[in-house]
């Protein structure tokens, strides 16, 4: 069933449920089946404007206005139940000449596609986790020991350009040790890309910075522009010295979140075995998806 709730799914639910039922009494029953709190249901069905009750679509709009401030898991439960009602419905037969039930049928088909795609993504994540476990059984700790030595050597380099090149090589080795597909740095017309990784079915363009100062908003904006010009791409900006306070205060929230921000604390935690890079990615993606935060905290609860 639906694991990630977003605006697209909310719109589909409203369109589907409001057109599935012709009689408002049946719509009210669906609210109970979806486990909408009884007080909210009575409130919505009792609203009148100029002596008229709300339309079925207006009732769905009011419902989501009421539950928007509830905890995420509660909203997800109600939405999952509505999705289940739609995709499990068998007979899309109109109950009146004006009943546009075919709209609900189209929504049900679309939601089935989304559910199937999320299942595929979950299977892919399971494969990634299985690969990570296999890495732990095949002398992964020995590889980490070698990587730690390389990391300390890179840290000693004082020449900025040379350290950048060696840092890129080191990161490639770190991804290989974590069983994550990685592309080496490359150049296209007008752009230098510090490499890319493939994770959870998505390509993430990399920006790797190991400089004396904290990275600023302009540097991050550059990666945003590179990502925007690529099909379904995302980005990871790794700044070993962290990010300026002005930069963090101005981070986007809630819309067009295509770039994740990581710093030296994140990376050294991976290098020194506090968590794997796969676990860091899962944590970072979940914080961006659920809370709209592209710069996640450093502590991961396994």
For residue 194 the two structure tokens come to 């510090």
CB of 219 within 8 A of CB of 211? no
pLDDT digits (tens, 9 = 90+) for 107-150: 999 999 988 888 888 888 888 878 777 766 667 778 888 999 99
SS3 for 287?
Answer: helix
CB of 237 within 8 A of CB of 261? yes
Neighbour tally for 3: CB within 10 Å: 12
Domains and their CATH numbers in the chain: 7-121 (no CATH), 139-291 (3.40.1350.10)
Which strand (E) or helix (H) includes residue 208? strand 202-209
Instruction: Look at residue 135 in the predicted model and tell me its pLDDT.
Output: 62
List strand residue ranges (DSSP E) for 19-169, in order. Answer: 48-49, 52-53
For residue 37 the two structure tokens come to 């709190």
Instruction: Look at residue 302 in the predicted model and tell me its pLDDT.
Output: 60
Low-confidence ranges of the chain (pLDDT < 70): 1-5, 135-138, 187-190, 252-255, 301-302
- Measured CA to CA, the distance from residue 252 to residue 27 in angstroms comes to 38
- Measured CA to CA, the distance from residue 185 to residue 194 in angstroms comes to 4
- CA–centroid distance for 38 within its chain: 32
Please report, to the nearest 10 degrees, the dihedral formed by the alpha carbons of residues 144, 147, 152, 158 taken in order: -150
SS3 for 86?
Answer: helix
Overall pTM surpassing 0.75 (yes/no)? no
Percent helix / strand / coil, the chain, rounded to 5:
55, 15, 30
Q: H helices of 138-253, where?
A: 140-156, 160-177, 217-228, 245-249
């Amino acid at each position: 069933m639906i694991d990630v709730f977003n605006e697209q799914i909310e719109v589909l639910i409203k369109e589907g449920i409001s057109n599935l039922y012709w009689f408002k009494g049946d719509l009210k029953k669906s609210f109970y089946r979806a486990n909408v709190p009884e007080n909210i249901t009575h409130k919505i069905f009792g609203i009148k404007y100029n002596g008229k009750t709300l339309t079925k679509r207006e009732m769905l709009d009011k419902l989501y206005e009421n539950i928007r401030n509830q905890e995420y898991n509660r909203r997800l439960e109600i939405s999952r139940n509505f999705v289940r009602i739609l995709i499990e419905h068998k007979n899309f037969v109109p109950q009146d000449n004006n009943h546009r039930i075919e709209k609900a049928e189209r929504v049900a088909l679309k939601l089935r596609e989304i559910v199937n795609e999320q299942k595929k993504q979950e299977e892919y994540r399971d494969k990634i986790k299985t690969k990570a476990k296999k890495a732990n059984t095949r002398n992964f700790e020995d590889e980490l020991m070698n990587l730690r030595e390389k990391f300390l050597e890179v840290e000693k380099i004082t020449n900025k350009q040379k350290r950048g090149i060696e840092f890129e090589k080191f990161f490639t080795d770190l991804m290989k040790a974590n069983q994550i597909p990685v592309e080496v740095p490359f150049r296209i017309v007008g752009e230098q890309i510090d490499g890319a990784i493939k994770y959870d079915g998505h390509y993430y363009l990399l920006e790797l910075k190991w400089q004396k100062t904290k990275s600023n908003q302009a540097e991050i904006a550059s990666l945003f522009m590179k990502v925007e010009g690529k099909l379904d791409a995302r980005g990871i900006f790794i700044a070993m010295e962290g990010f300026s306070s002005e930069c963090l205060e101005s981070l986007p929230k809630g819309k067009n979140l295509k770039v994740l921000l990581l710093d030296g604390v994140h990376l050294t935690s991976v290098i020194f075995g506090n968590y794997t890079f796969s676990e860091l990615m899962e944590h970072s993606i979940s914080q961006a998806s659920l809370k709209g935060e592209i710069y996640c905290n450093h502590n991961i609860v396994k």
